[in-house]
A = this chain, B = another copy of it.
Amino acid sequence: MTQVTLQQLAKELNLSIATISKALRDSHEISVSTKKRVFDRARELNFTPNPYAGSLRKKKSRTIAVVLPEVADNFFTLAIKGIQSVAEKKAYHVLIYLSHESYIHEQHILQNCRSGRVDGVLLSISSETREAGHVELLQAHNIPVVFFDRALEGSRTAKIVTNDVEMGYMAARHLLSKKCSRLCFFSLSESLPICKKRELGFKNALAEEGFPEQAVYYCTGDEEKDYQLILELLSSSRPPDGIIACVERIAIQVYLACQQLQIRIPNQLKMVAFSTLETAPILDPPLTTITQPAFEIGKAAAELLFKGIEKTNFNLENNTVVLPSILIERASTKVVSV
């Protein structure tokens, strides 16, 4: 059995292709009786219209692309879920692309998106991305782009982000309020806006309290090296007593390092992590987290993108939405009486 087409239906029913097409779309031009004939036969033959033929003609693909640096990450999977929830309602299809934290990869992916394959793009940039050229080219092709979470600064389109500066500040103040005096911020990238912002909040809090030294460490992306870096720091002569992990992955590595070095949390070291880990409450010890509204960020981004796709006069620029994160205090930052 091969694909059944309008042509075949037309031949079978002694009607023209145009009539079949219109009948299936329930056009008023076609009489009720013929519509019924067509519907019935189409159902019998399990007719499923070729989407690409339609896309070609209508210049609409009913497909969006989601471009993200990594999929094995709780934040991104929740965001995908949020995106899917609205794509399903709109009957859109979702292509997933991974940049693997590489700018080159990201460029190629966006380049491909310019072909008419997708009607819009949801983008969370790689940690290497510093320029907006590739997204501007996309926009020049009239393909709307919405950033989610990891947005590019100075790019003229919508962004759905969370209150990173504020939460970086809160994380630091939280640790300070728990009597930490040697804070350390573990970042992913020097350039990535979300990291920079969280770091900025961290620094602001320290500056307020007159702390001169601001220990910020940047991970390399290489899991093994990052782990070594953490081990070295924690076993140095003057280790931190409070750590902020900018992303989930780092939090897990710090926990593992503490396990290996037999450093007790929260006694010797307190920790708060930017993370949506669902296992945070059952870790040893339960981890204080800055939890982002991941699902909602994905959902809001998709909703905005569809507005941009459906209403041609809708201007995505200046549509920055900030969905607040929350600090959930758990045992990893508990004050322990000595």
Q: Which residues of A contact B (CB under 8 A)?
A: 1-3, 46, 48-53, 55-56, 61, 63, 71-74, 77-78, 80-81, 84, 88, 93-98, 111-112, 114-117, 137, 140-142, 252, 255-256, 259, 277-279, 281-286
Given contact pairs A56-B50, A137-B46, A282 touches B284 in the complex (Cβ within 8 A)? yes
In the complex, which of the residues B53, B81, B98 contacts A71, with contact meaning CB atoms closer than 8 Å? B81
B77 touching A71, Cβ below 8 Å: yes
Q: Measured between alpha carbons, how far is A48 from B138 in the docked complex, in Å? A: 12
B252 touching A117, Cβ below 8 Å: no
> How many copies of the chain does the oligomer comprise?
2
B84 touching A80, Cβ below 8 Å: no
The interface residues of chain B lying within 8 Å CB-to-CB of A94 are 95-97
Given contact pairs A72-B81, A84-B98, A259-B281, A52 touches B49 in the complex (Cβ within 8 A)? no
B1 touching A140, Cβ below 8 Å: yes
Q: Measured between alpha carbons, how far is A281 from B260 in the docked complex, in Å? A: 11
B3 touching A116, Cβ below 8 Å: yes
Q: Measured between alpha carbons, how far is A85 from B51 in the docked complex, in Å? A: 26
A50 touching B116, Cβ below 8 Å: yes
Q: For residue A271, give the distance in angstroms from its CB to the closest CB of chain B.
A: 12
A84 touching B112, Cβ below 8 Å: no
B48 touching A115, Cβ below 8 Å: yes
Q: Measured between alpha carbons, how far is A259 from B116 in the docked complex, in Å? A: 52
Q: Top 7 closest A-B pairs, CB basis?
A: A284-B284, A52-B52, A48-B115, A255-B282, A279-B279, A52-B55, A1-B140
Of chain B, the residue at the smallest CB distance from A54 is B52
The interface residues of chain B lying within 8 Å CB-to-CB of A278 are 252
The interface residues of chain B lying within 8 Å CB-to-CB of A88 are 98
**Contacts A50-B115, A84-B98 known; 18 new A-B pairs at CB < 8 A:** A3-B116, A48-B111, A48-B112, A48-B115, A51-B116, A52-B52, A52-B116, A71-B77, A71-B81, A71-B84, A73-B77, A88-B98, A94-B95, A94-B96, A94-B97, A256-B282, A259-B281, A279-B283
A80 touching B52, Cβ below 8 Å: no
- 29 A-B residue pairs with Cβ-Cβ distance under 8 Å, sorted by A, are A1-B140, A1-B141, A46-B114, A48-B114, A48-B115, A50-B56, A50-B116, A52-B52, A52-B56, A52-B117, A53-B56, A71-B77, A71-B81, A71-B84, A72-B74, A72-B81, A73-B77, A81-B98, A84-B96, A84-B98, A94-B97, A95-B96, A252-B278, A252-B282, A256-B281, A277-B279, A279-B283, A282-B283, A284-B285
Q: For residue A277, give the distance in angstroms from its CB to the closest CB of chain B.
A: 7
Of chain B, the residue at the smallest CB distance from A259 is B282
In the complex, which of the residues B46, B72, B141 contacts A3, with contact meaning CB atoms closer than 8 Å? B141
A80 touching B71, Cβ below 8 Å: yes
Q: For residue A59, give the distance in angstroms from its CB to the closest CB of chain B.
A: 8
Q: For residue A223, give the distance in angstroms from its CB to the closest CB of chain B.
A: 11
Of chain B, the residue at the smallest CB distance from A65 is B93
Of chain B, the residue at the smallest CB distance from A98 is B84
B285 touching A51, Cβ below 8 Å: no
The interface residues of chain B lying within 8 Å CB-to-CB of A98 are 81, 84, 88
Q: For residue A244, give the distance in angstroms from its CB to the closest CB of chain B.
A: 18
Q: For residue A50, give the distance in angstroms from its CB to the closest CB of chain B.
A: 5
B141 touching A2, Cβ below 8 Å: yes
